[in-house]
Amino acid sequence: MDEEEQREGKILNSFRKAIEQEEFQVYFQPKMDAKTLSICGAEALVRWKKDEETVWTPNVFIPLLEKAGFITELDFYVYEKVFQWMKKRSDQGEKLVPISMNVSRLHLKNPEKFTEKVFHLLMKYRIHTDDIIFEITESMYMEQPEVINEIIGKFHERGIRISMDDFGSGYSSLNMLKDILFDEVKIDRQFLEHELSERGKIVLQELFHMLRRMQKSIVCEGVETKEISDFLVQEGCDELQGFLYYQPMDEQAFQAVMAKETKKQK
Ligand code: C2E
Ligand code: CA
Ligand code: CA
């Protein structure tokens, strides 16, 4: 075995123990309302805290967990942690904003188990369905549109919103746009990388125009500069997410940010 394989083996071997010992942590990255520039939601992003100094981002372990089939377990772990946190906050009478959670493509192998388990967790923690959003990537939709639409149908019956993540990162066709049942479209950050060219601006303007006419909520992620943010606001994007506003942060830091926001609004 070469070094890389040994490293991968070590990561996979430590997965179960990491779940038991709660080494995985949920970070939150706020989403901003484009009109008021106040926090209107957040995306839950998983981190693996190896020790006090080392925190791994998903690119280090998610591809491996996907390959080994462990990622579905991690997703449910993340959902449960998010719901526990939401329940605690609502029990304490604290303000909640909708939390977006990522869905691995591996759930598509067993869509019934996925929806059943989510509904079970929602009941267990008495979560209001309008307080959560699930993000499903464009590429997952491209691979299995029927399965995705079935999942969306079940979620919609219960009032849960679905966002199309990484929109425009793959080879989605315009034709596909007319069939999508998604409530929100999250424009991939590739669109906003580097400076926006005139043509890039035209593509975004027309895309927003189409999405607005279809009553989809428009979110842009990877917003890093004021110039880009101003353009997106002017063109009618609904929500902004990116380092210009906030980096992903741990629960404690997110709580502090939310408290400050609540004070500001009073
Ligand atoms: P994603 O769903 O596209 O999440 C957004 C990623 O963009 C996050 O990376 C976030 O930190 C990063 N980001 C946010 N704002 C900016 C910005 O202004 N500039 C730049 N350059 N990057 C920005 P992160 O946290 O490393 O997550 C990477 C990916 O890992 C996520 O991409 C998602 O696909 C996956 N992931 C994260 N958490 C989970 C999870 O709980 N379950 C599953 N299945 N996948 C997850
Ligand atoms: Ca996402
Ligand atoms: Ca994304």
Q: And the tokens for 257?
A: 């940010």
Q: And the tokens for 188?
A: 């991939």
Instruction: Please report the pLDDT score of residue 44 as a whole number.
Output: 99
Q: 102 CB under 6 A from ligand 1?
A: yes
Nearest CA to ligand 1 atom 2: 102
Backbone φ, ψ for residue 126 (5° rounding): 50, 55
Which ligand lies nearest to the CA atom of residue 222 in the structure? 1
Q: How far apart are CA 15 and CA 175, in angstroms?
A: 41
What ligand 1 atom has the least distance to the C-alpha of 244?
18
Q: Kindly give the pairing relationship between strand 24-33 and strand 239-241.
A: antiparallel
Instruction: Please report the pLDDT score of residue 180 as a whole number.
Output: 81
Q: 168 CB under 6 A from ligand 1?
A: no
Q: Kindly give the pairing relationship between strand 55-56 and strand 39-49.
A: antiparallel
Q: Decide if 204 contacts 191 (C-beta within 8 A).
A: yes
Instruction: Please report the pLDDT score of residue 1 as a whole number.
Output: 65
Nearest CA to ligand 1 atom 27: 58
Residue pointed to by tokens 């008495």: 126
Per-residue DSSP letter, 184: E
* Residue 245 vs residues 37, 121, 262: alpha-carbon distances, Å: 9, 31, 17
pLDDT tens string, the chain, 266 residues long: the values are 688 888 888 888 899 999 999 999 999 999 999 999 999 999 999 999 999 999 999 999 999 999 999 999 999 999 999 999 999 999 999 999 999 999 999 999 999 999 999 999 999 999 999 999 999 999 999 999 999 999 999 999 999 999 999 998 887 777 778 888 999 999 999 888 777 889 989 999 999 999 999 999 999 999 999 999 999 999 999 999 999 999 999 999 999 999 998 888 77
The Cβ-side half-sphere exposure at 5, using a 13 Å CA radius, reads 2
Q: How far apart are CA 42 and CA 95, in angstroms?
A: 13
Residues 6+ apart with CB under 8 A from 126: 87
The three state secondary structure string of 164-189 is EEEECCCCCCHHHHCCCCCCEEEECH
Choice from 102, 103, 109, 164 to test ligand 1 binding pocket (greatest atom count within 8 A of CB): 102
Residues within 5 A (CB) of ion ligand 3: 165-166
Which ligand lies nearest to the CA atom of residue 58 in the structure? 1
Calculate the CA 258 to chain-centre distance. Answer: 18
Instruction: Please report the pLDDT score of residue 25 as a whole number.
Output: 98
